[in-house]
Amino acid sequence: MISPEFNFNILTRDLSHYVENQVKVGLFDSGVGFSLMLGFSAAYTCYYLLSVAKKPQLISGGKKFCQFLRDHCPVVSETYYPTFWCWESRIQTLLRPFVTAKPGVVYRNELIKAADGGQISLDWFDNDDSSTHPDPSCRPTVLLLPGLTGTSRESYILHMVQQSRQLGYRCVVFNNRGVCGETLLTPRTYCAANTEDLETVIEHIQRAHADAPLMAAGVSMGGMMLANYLGRKGRETCLRGGLVFSAGWDVFECTASLEKPLDRFLFNSYLTSCLQASVDRHRPVLEKCYDIDHVMKAKTIREFDERFTSIMFGYPTNDDYYRDASPIHRLKSVQVPLLCLNAADDVFSPSHAIPVETVKQNPNLAMLITCHGGHIGFLEGLWPRHSTYMDRVFKQFAKAVIEQGSRLQDLC
């Protein structure tokens, strides 16, 4: 009878000889490594196709708007295939600025005066070479609103300008005060709740191009500002429609999500430092009204808002500011077609805070939710250099609103 110890020793010896032999001849030469790689690839492909690549969920408050989107924006019905090697939320969010190309865009800068004596920087892409709309007086215009610390040079903004160029449209980028290199003339910057500067910009564009159709697209905080503006104005706006990407609908939920340990490390601390850097650049004008040294000690976005933003805009508490900044409370009052794109895995805007039920109650609203995409990610293709799912949504909806907008009248 052979003892178990003997069996184990023989097995160990034989396995050691086998491994040594495979290292010498090479796993792929033996066929074992190739088989393992093939099996892993097949398993990963099955998982990707079954669990990752999915059609987005389209929610709308009215059948008319929903059918319009399906007819003129086929992207809302197509399966979204995230880049197979980076479909995870945080990876999509972090890689987007680095892997996507930055199209060459030459802007014409304009500084306009605000009511309080401050100045607002606008970057125009006039698209004077447009063959589809050669007359500048009636060339469609798209207003673009960047994110929290973004400018007209962000890759996602440049891609939307490129898509507009292909459609023959003109673009103007609304840079928030103090972020684009211009001098801050008054001790005031910006926030998601205050839409006075946006109203000033829209009125200025309308005066300059009264006969040109105008729509707007906002990204992240820019989308929050746009949604708040549309909720406040109702039908009293010249915008034909709006697009909102990766907005935070409930600021309380957004900040709580970003304060989880990993997301605080990856995103919150970095964005806080960017906000502080902007404040520090304008210290001479801001320190007359605010304790800038105290602001510079903030460790999170919430602390920054408690020490700076909420005070600047006159809120009794930071909670009052966050409540007023949350677009979820104003969506019911939006009276122009508004399409919103969010990813269910966006850590900046957690899925449980996406206002699905509110959207269902307003026929002017539509919400497109992808399973993956992260925050302003939406990467797709083997090497996502030139176009994203978000870019395709923008181009198709902008064209639909500008050229088929008559079908969107009286959605109620």
Q: Which residues are catalytic?
A: 220, 346, 375
Cβ proximity of 213 and 140 under 8 Å: yes
Angstrom distance (rounded) from CA 70 to CA 62: 13
Class of residue 30 by CB neighbours under 10 A (exposed 0-12, middle 13-18, buried 19+): middle
Q: With H, G, I as helix, E, B as strand and everything else as coil, classify residue 309.
A: helix
Q: Which two tokens stand for residue 240?
A: 């034909």
| Token couple for 127 | 């698209």
> What is the rounded CA–CA span in Å between residue 322 and residue 339?
23
- Dihedral (C-alpha) 176, 92, 229, 75: value to the nearest 10 degrees? 130
* Dihedral angle of Cα 186, 189, 194, 199, to the nearest 10 degrees: 70
Pairing of strands 119-125, 170-175: antiparallel
Amino acid at 47: Y
Would residue 17 be called left, alpha or beta, if left means φ above 0 and alpha means ψ between -120 and 50 degrees? Answer: alpha
State the residue for tokens 């933003």: 309
SS3 content of the chain, % helix, strand, coil (to 5): 50, 15, 35
Tokens 């086998």, residue located: 18
CB 335 within 8 A of CB 65: no
3-state secondary structure of 107: coil
143 SS3 class: strand
Give which of 333, 255, 343 is closest to 300, Cα–Cα: 255
Nearest to 86 by CA among 393, 384, 401, 389: 384
Which distant-in-sequence residues (6+ apart) come within 8 Å of 325 by Cβ? 191, 192, 193, 224, 228, 251
Residues in contact with 382: Cβ distance below 8 Å, sequence separation at least 6, in sequence order: 83, 84
